[in-house]
């Protein structure tokens, strides 16, 4: 598959409800799919943010098409409040874009050989830097925490014995050998969790998400909408817990728990979570694990 198909596009648009004269933040611009759809849905403006310089370069054509309505910024969505004071909606499409996944030179995928990189921003520590310098215990901790890999210690030991590693195919083969012949019968590729863990670490994806949700809360106007598409349980858990902790449902109190103080008053009204329909999963298999959580900022 080439290019990037925005996941759950109709559901995201339904959650954001774009309107004329409003302003929106696409915090994970990627291929520009959400930004384009928002701009086509209403006479509004969009700020597109992405830390990948390739994404910003690709977006130049779209920015020219919607001149004056689409602004692109290379940066982290966790810093959106430094780019905009207030907005009517924020959308975050977490994880790796298809452009990053499908380009072997970026090192995100084990399906084609490439440098063991995985850096979204193209700077800082690469996956190769980490696996070649960290001790075995640290590697195992990362694989277990971020990849939820049950054989983390076995894989970490194999990685240390095989160092130095520079290629994605090398790492994938090491994981296969470490897990034994039965690994090839698994429904998902045996290296999936290892690659996920290293990618999350290298890009500080969970920390970025936590900071980004807090930034979105700060910049959203009353009645502004937040829509977050996640792809695995670690991301979804953070989004779910963040919204639940700030929703009106936790503030009503009961005979067992008093009402929350004004300082801790709820800030969001939650919408029902949704997942892709069967038709979308068939046409875009990468959407199969997606989940959309959305909420509306309450009036002060």
Asked if 134 and 263 sit in the same domain, the reply is no
Q: How far is CA 267 from CA 99, 214, 221, 276, in A?
A: 35, 11, 11, 27
pTM, 2 dp: 0.91
What average pLDDT does this structure show over 199-205?
A: 96
Asked if 291 and 251 sit in the same domain, the reply is yes
Confidence of residue 99 (pLDDT cuts 50, 70, 90): confident
Asked if 89 and 235 sit in the same domain, the reply is yes
240, part of any domain: yes
Closest CA to 71 of 136, 37, 25, 13: 25
CA–CA distance, 103 with 113 (Å, rounded to integer): 10
Q: What's the pLDDT at 131?
A: 98
Last residue of a domain, one of 157, 172, 203: 203
Q: What's the pLDDT at 263?
A: 54
Write the CB contacts of 142 (distance below 8 Å, at least 6 apart in sequence): 130, 134, 197, 198, 201
Report yes or no: 229 and 291 within 8 Å, Cβ to Cβ.
Answer: yes
DSSP code per residue over 28-92: S-TTSHHHHHHHHHSS-EEEEEES-HHHHHHTHHHHHHTTTTEEEEES-GGGGGGT-S-EEEEEE
Report yes or no: 290 and 8 within 8 Å, Cβ to Cβ.
Answer: yes
Query: Does pLDDT of 88 surpass 80?
Result: yes
Asked if 121 and 196 sit in the same domain, the reply is yes
Asked if 217 and 89 sit in the same domain, the reply is yes
Last residue of a domain, one of 147, 175, 203: 203
Write the CB contacts of 124 (distance below 8 Å, at least 6 apart in sequence): 202
What average pLDDT does this structure show over 46-74?
A: 96
CA–CA distance, 48 with 121 (Å, rounded to integer): 15
3, part of any domain: no
pLDDT tens by residue, 142-186: 999 999 999 999 999 999 999 999 999 999 999 999 998 776 666
Q: What's the pLDDT at 188?
A: 78
pLDDT tens by residue, 204-226: 999 999 999 999 999 999 999 99
A 10 A CB-CB count for 57 gives: 12
Q: What's the pLDDT at 84?
A: 97
Unique residue bearing structure tokens 């858990």: 237
Asked if 276 and 293 sit in the same domain, the reply is yes
CA–CA distance, 183 with 178 (Å, rounded to integer): 9
What average pLDDT does this structure show over 46-52?
A: 97
42, part of any domain: yes
Asked if 134 and 261 sit in the same domain, the reply is no
Domain that holds residue 250: 9-93+205-297
User: H or E segment at 233?
Assistant: helix 233-245
Confidence of residue 251 (pLDDT cuts 50, 70, 90): very low
Torsion, CA 287, CA 148, CA 238, CA 288, rounded to 10? 10
Asked if 88 and 210 sit in the same domain, the reply is yes
- The CATH number given to whatever domain includes residue 265 is 3.40.50.150
98, part of any domain: no
**227: β partners:** 91, 294
293, part of any domain: yes
Confidence of residue 141 (pLDDT cuts 50, 70, 90): very high
pLDDT tens by residue, 267-291: 999 999 999 999 999 998 889 999 9
- The CATH number given to whatever domain includes residue 173 is 1.10.150.170
Query: Does pLDDT of 256 surpass 60?
Result: no
What average pLDDT does this structure show over 126-141?
A: 98
Confidence of residue 78 (pLDDT cuts 50, 70, 90): very high
What average pLDDT does this structure show over 43-68?
A: 96
Q: What's the pLDDT at 299?
A: 86
CA–CA distance, 132 with 112 (Å, rounded to integer): 21
Mean pLDDT of the chain: 91
181, part of any domain: yes
1, part of any domain: no
Asked if 176 and 111 sit in the same domain, the reply is yes
> How many domains is the chain partitioned into structurally?
2
Asked if 222 and 287 sit in the same domain, the reply is yes
Q: What's the pLDDT at 1?
A: 33
Asked if 265 and 251 sit in the same domain, the reply is yes
Q: What's the pLDDT at 249?
A: 58
Weakest-pLDDT range from 67-76, 111-120, 260-269: 260-269
Q: How far is CA 29 from CA 41, 49, 208, in A?
A: 17, 5, 15
14, part of any domain: yes
Q: Tokens for 116, please give them.
A: 């063991």
Report yes or no: 298 and 266 within 8 Å, Cβ to Cβ.
Answer: yes
Asked if 224 and 187 sit in the same domain, the reply is no
Last residue of a domain, one of 143, 176, 203: 203
Sheet bearing 268-270, strands edge to edge: 70-74, 45-50, 23-26, 87-93, 220-230, 291-297, 268-270
Confidence of residue 2 (pLDDT cuts 50, 70, 90): very low
Strands 23-26 and 45-50: parallel
Q: What's the pLDDT at 261?
A: 47
Q: What's the pLDDT at 4?
A: 61
């Amino acid at each position: 598959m080439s290019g990037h198909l925005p996941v759950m596009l109709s559901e995201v648009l339904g959650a954001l409800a774009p309107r004329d004269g409003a302003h929106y933040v696409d915090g994970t611009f990627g291929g520009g799919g959400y930004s384009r759809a928002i701009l086509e849905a209403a006479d509004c403006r969009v700020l597109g943010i992405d830390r990948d310089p390739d994404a910003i370069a690709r977006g130049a054509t779209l920015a020219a098409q919607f001149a004056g309505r689409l602004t692109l910024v290379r940066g982290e969505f966790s810093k959106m409040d430094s780019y905009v004071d207030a907005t009517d909606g924020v959308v975050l499409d977490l994880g790796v874009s298809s452009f990053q996944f499908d380009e072997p030179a970026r090192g995100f995928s084990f399906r084609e050989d490439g440098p063991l990189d995985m850096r979204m921003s193209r700077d800082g520590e690469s996956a190769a830097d980490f696996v070649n310098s960290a001790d075995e215990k640290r590697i195992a901790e990362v694989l277990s925490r971020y990849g939820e890999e049950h054989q983390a210690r076995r894989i970490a030991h194999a990685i240390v014995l095989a160092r130095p590693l520079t290629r994605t195919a090398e790492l994938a083969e090491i994981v296969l050998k470490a897990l034994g012949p039965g690994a090839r019968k698994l429904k998902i590729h045996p290296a999936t969790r290892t690659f996920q863990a290293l990618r999350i670490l290298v890009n500080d994806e969970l920390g970025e998400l936590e900071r980004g949700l807090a930034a979105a809360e700060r910049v959203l106007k009353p009645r502004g909408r937040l829509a977050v598409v996640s792809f695995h349980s670690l991301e979804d858990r953070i989004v779910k817990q963040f919204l639940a902790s700030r929703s009106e449902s936790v503030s009503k109190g009961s005979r067992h728990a008093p009402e929350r103080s004004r300082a801790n008053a709820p800030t969001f009204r939650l919408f029902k979570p949704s997942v892709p329909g069967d038709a979308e999963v068939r046409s875009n298999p990468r959407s199969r694990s997606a989940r959309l959580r959305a909420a509306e900022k309450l009036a002060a």
